[in-house]
């Protein structure tokens, strides 16, 4: 497969670079600067992008650019720190700016604009984020752009196919940034638009069959997007050799188990085992109110129940997981050390060590939106693939206080009416995540001329791109009124509904 490599120098925008490349139907990987030239040669690499990063090229521990990367015979594009690293390596000069340039900056193209800027206007708004700048060009390079604060905002050596931009073309704030990236991918690198879901399915099925052979694969199917798409793809690859275990822990949304049955039974060539473990989970959670204790108990019990069921399956040598590419990136240091890891993910390690099984992760190269697109291509229903995110601990983190069957039932009934009204109003796909929360608060009310002392439901709905930041969704007041009216009138035990209007940050999306 034709591949573009993104050398990770620690930029917060690395995933954006990858997304812009993938959107152009070109496959790419994010790799640390410690990757060797021989490792690159082993791949079908047709271009390299050097990312930005927080370091200065003169710092003692600044990530270094391997000079062998420039001997590979493929085009190289340096972005921000990547441009400075190129200049520093090739004999140019990088200096600390008297005034940091951050945010919008008007970009002016030089008379000799070069290959990267073909087809774009002479001046447009770019996005800057740097404290250093290239003050003197390396020999053989010419300037292609500048701003009022940055004397060299872009350079290139057309003969050597080496390019650099000080701005960030990957962010939407750079008006023609996507155009610049496409110029690098196609006229410069000569990529074909071969990264499609159909090609991905064909290649992944072939790889999986070769890896698994005639062995069985076990997969924990939660009903979420990632595990569902992984199940569908593995089913296509190995058929009945795939055994999916669905653990109903009693903390799921209303109708979750039936939804999974409808999506997979009779439509996909796999074995589905459903384990009803509600009783054991509720016993373990009895009297527990601390959210962290809830999470640990649920995680521990899931592993216990899953392992117990898995032991009944003879000849299973592989464990399937719905690991996505962001999980892999965020669980790995950019520079090969432990200090820069953003967070560890449950899918990246964990169960395999305890179960003595080999991993098979068919979605490991995909972003979330690509996984959804794959799910549609494989024939999974929109009701499953288009669902809002749902937390691993389930409704346990949406019930503040103790978890009981009665409280779970109240929350499920409130939540399903909330979602029904959102769908009815045509707003579901405009919202990143929407759900109800049961508060540990009772208040006085009046229903049917009688005093009540019942529960409070909080509603949460947010807009977001990636879940890292979020803003509360501005409902039309008539929609909120209808939702509140339905919940109070139809859900026994609720007499008050409130709406959460906090953003992330400072709040989180989930309440616990």
Catalytic residue list: 80, 168, 170
Q: Cα separation of 331 and 321, whole Å?
A: 15
The torsion region of residue 462 among left (phi > 0), alpha (psi -120 to 50) and beta comes to beta
Phi, psi of 301 (to 5 degrees): -70, -35
Query: What angle is formed at CA 46 by the lines to CA 71 and CA 9, rounded to 5 degrees?
Result: 70
- State which H helix or E strand residue 214 sits in: none
- Which residue bears the tokens 């600067």? 33
Phi, psi of 445 (to 5 degrees): -145, 175
Q: Cα separation of 355 and 220, whole Å?
A: 13
Strand order in the sheet with 316-320: 271-276, 242-248, 216-220, 316-320, 358-360
Q: Nearest Cα to 317, choosing from 289, 278, 357?
A: 357
Partners of 437 in beta bridges? 458
Query: 65 near 86, Cβ under 8 Å?
Result: yes
Q: Cα separation of 27 and 18, whole Å?
A: 9
CA 382 vs CA 111, 362, 373, 405: distances in Å? 51, 20, 10, 30
Residues contacting 85, CB < 8 A, separation 6+: 9, 50, 57, 63, 64, 65, 78
- State which H helix or E strand residue 480 sits in: helix 477-490
Q: Nearest Cα to 251, choosing from 394, 388, 387?
A: 394
- Which residue bears the tokens 């972005």? 79
Phi, psi of 206 (to 5 degrees): -65, -45
């Amino acid at each position: 497969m034709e591949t573009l490599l993104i050398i990770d120098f620690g930029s917060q925008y690395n995933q954006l670079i990858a997304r812009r490349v993938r959107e152009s139907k070109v496959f790419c990987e994010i790799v640390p600067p410690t990757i060797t030239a021989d490792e690159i040669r082993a791949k079908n690499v047709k271009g390299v992008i050097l990312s930005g990063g927080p370091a200065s090229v003169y710092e003692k521990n600044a990530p270094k650019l391997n000079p062998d990367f420039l001997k590979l015979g493929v085009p190289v594009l340096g972005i921000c720190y990547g441009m400075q690293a190129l200049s520093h390596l090739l004999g140019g000069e990088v200096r600390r700016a008297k005034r940091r340039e951050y945010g919008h900056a008007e970009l002016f193209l030089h008379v000799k604009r070069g290959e990267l800027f073909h087809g774009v206007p002479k001046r447009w708004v770019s996005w800057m984020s740097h404290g250093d700048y290239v003050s003197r060009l390396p020999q053989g390079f010419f300037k292609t752009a500048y701003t009022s604060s940055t004397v060299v905002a872009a350079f290139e050596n057309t003969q050597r196919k080496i390019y650099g931009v000080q701005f960030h073309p990957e962010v939407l704030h750079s008006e023609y940034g996507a155009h610049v990236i496409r110029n690098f991918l196609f006229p410069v690198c000569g990529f074909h638009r071969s990264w499609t879901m159909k090609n991905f399915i064909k290649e992944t099925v072939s790889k999986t069959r070769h890896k698994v052979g005639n062995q069985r694969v076990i997969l924990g199917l939660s009903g979420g997007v990632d595990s569902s798409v992984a199940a569908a793809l593995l089913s296509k690859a190995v058929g009945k050799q795939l055994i999916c275990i669905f653990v109903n822990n009693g903390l799921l949304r209303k109708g979750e188990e039936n939804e999974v049955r409808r999506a997979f039974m009779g439509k996909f060539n796999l074995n589905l085992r459903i384990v009803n473990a509600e009783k054991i989970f509720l016993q373990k959670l009895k009297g527990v109110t601390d959210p962290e204790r809830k999470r640990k108990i649920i995680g521990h019990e899931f592993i216990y129940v899953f392992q117990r069921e898995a032991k009944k399956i003879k000849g299973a040598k592989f464990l399937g997981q719905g690991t996505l590419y962001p999980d892999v990136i965020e669980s790995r240091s950019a520079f090969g050390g432990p200090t820069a890891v953003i967070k560890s993910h449950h899918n990246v390690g964990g169960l395999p060590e305890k179960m003595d099984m080999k991993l098979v992760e068919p979605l490991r190269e995909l972003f979330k939106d690509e996984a959804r697109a794959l799910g549609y291509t494989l024939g999974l229903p929109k009701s499953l693939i288009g669902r809002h995110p749902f937390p691993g601990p389930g409704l346990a983190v949406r019930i503040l206080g103790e978890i009981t069957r009665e409280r779970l039932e109240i929350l499920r009934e409130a939540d399903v009416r909330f979602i029904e009204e959102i769908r009815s109003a045509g707003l579901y796909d405009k919202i990143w995540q929407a759900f109800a929360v049961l508060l540990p608060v009772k208040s006085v009310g009046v229903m049917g001329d009688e005093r009540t002392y019942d529960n409070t439901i909080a509603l949460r709905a947010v807009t977001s791109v990636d879940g890292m930041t979020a803003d509360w969704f501005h409902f039309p007041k008539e929609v909120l009124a209808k939702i509140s009216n339905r919940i109070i009138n139809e859900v026994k035990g609720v007499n008050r509904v409130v709406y959460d209007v906090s953003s992330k940050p400072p709040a989180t999306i989930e309440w616990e």
